[in-house]
Amino acid sequence: MKAKEKIKHPTQTIPVRKGQTYHIWIDRLGTSGEGVGRYENFTVFVPNALPGENISVLIEEVKSSYARGHVKEILHTSPERVAPLCEIYDECGGCQLQHLSYDAQLDAKRAQVADALTHIGKLLQIPVKETMRAEQPWNYRNKMQFPIGVNKGKIMVGCFAQGSHKIINTENCHIQHTANNDLANAVRAIAEKLHIPIYNEDTHKGILRHIVGRVGRNNDLMAVIVTATKQLPRAKDFVRMLRERLPNLVSVHQNIQTYRNNVIMGRDTQLLWGRSTIIDSLGRLNFHISPRSFFQVNTRQAERLYEQALAYADLHGTETVIDAYCGTGTITLFLAQKARKVYGIEIVQPAILDARKNARDNHVKNAEFIVGDATDVMPALYKQGVRPDVVVVDPPRAGCTETVLRTFANMKPQRIVYVSCNPATLARDLAILKGVGYITQEVQPVDLFPHTSHVECLTKLVRRDLL
């Protein structure tokens, strides 16, 4: 018997070549804000290109199923193209959509969510509402994390260039709170004046690595100086000069990050001057923010996000709620205002300690915070007789495992409110929840990060047998 011959499948002919220029029409935006078009039915990704534009693109990278290139010339311009506000926008990797009008950004983010539901989740005819716009789409970030480096003898403080570790000197980031920009500029000048060595990630020598700024209520400013050494030379002078330049400064910390990696902050933090925390507010709730605390970077939009989560939860004061990825308890405490009892679950113990402190500070007595994996904690609560009416989930970008989703469903809540920062994993998880008896009623995109490609989503699901 003859051995079976290998069947040869025809391979797709790649119609583009690296270093060559082609004319293509852009059809849509990709998940990272780049333009996506096709040349002879072959996908091409082009940063800074917009839907509806005909461009001349120089191909820089070719893979088996797609290519990447950059715009050489715009032959037909989208009416939604605008001049970026930022002078370093073309170099910087912090924003991806400043060249697109704000209304069109909102439309694109809604389309991204709808496309993910249709093509990834195979969920058809799910109502996706218009993206909730930001009333203040500029200078909204209350937290800054800028690397510090040296280029040709000059100290650089700012954002990384897109896809690299090259620091773009940033004096006026238009999405940062102005107080954070003032801090970055002050640190650059002070480091130069005091001749403090700047950290080099290649040689692992030097001292100053990052500057972290956080702005709270009443524009109170916290500065965190991240160093590669335990000692900060001339620390007292550094603090004094910061205070002289920054009238809103109320807190200065040193964070020590000695490891040779890309993690911004280390485990050890010491207070150099002022308060140990600053305070910010979400609705009627106040939160103490320490150097490493999690807090939404867009306070006003976070309030609107949580208000919508509360509306989807549809609480009347008699319900039991589980917040399965509670972090420092921000959503949990919002829910506690309308629920009978709320359980917050989080695997990271320091976050739970912050959550408990936040509950005490806000005099919330009907919230209980538990350290552990939701997959383990929720069945244990069920055995104890806890029967949640509502489950709220706000997972990381990777979404939930199927085991976690089935754990939610096994507790048979009437409603699930899913908060997501990644439309692709949201769509995947909603499809799984559909298979275990939960129907997606609607999705509300929220623009927490204007001028970037990121979109946050809120989803309301109801148990099928209740419809």
Q: Tell me how far apart the terminal alpha carbons of the chain are, to the nearest angstrom.
A: 61
Is 457 part of the annotated catalytic residue set? no
Of 92, 95, 421, 457, the active-site residue reads 421
The answer to whether the annotation marks 394 as part of a ligand binding site is: yes
Strand pairing report for 208-215 and 221-227: antiparallel
The answer to whether the annotation marks 346 as part of a ligand binding site is: yes
Query: How many angstroms separate the CA atoms of 254 and 233, rounded?
Result: 11
- The answer to whether 299 and 282 are in contact (CB under 8 A) is yes
Query: How many angstroms separate the CA atoms of 368 and 301, rounded?
Result: 26
CA-nearest of 188, 190, 183 to 237 is 190
Beta-carbon contacts of 277 under 8 Å, excluding residues fewer than 6 positions away, are 222, 251, 288, 289, 290, 293
Query: How many angstroms separate the CA atoms of 416 and 464, rounded?
Result: 12
- The answer to whether 343 and 321 are in contact (CB under 8 A) is yes
Query: How many angstroms separate the CA atoms of 271 and 269, rounded?
Result: 7
The tokens of 404 are what?
């976690």
Query: How many angstroms separate the CA atoms of 314 and 316, rounded?
Result: 7
So which residues are the catalytic ones?
421
Which segments are annotated as binding site?
296, 325, 346, 394
- Residue ranges of the annotated binding site for S-adenosyl-L-methionine are 296, 325, 346, 394
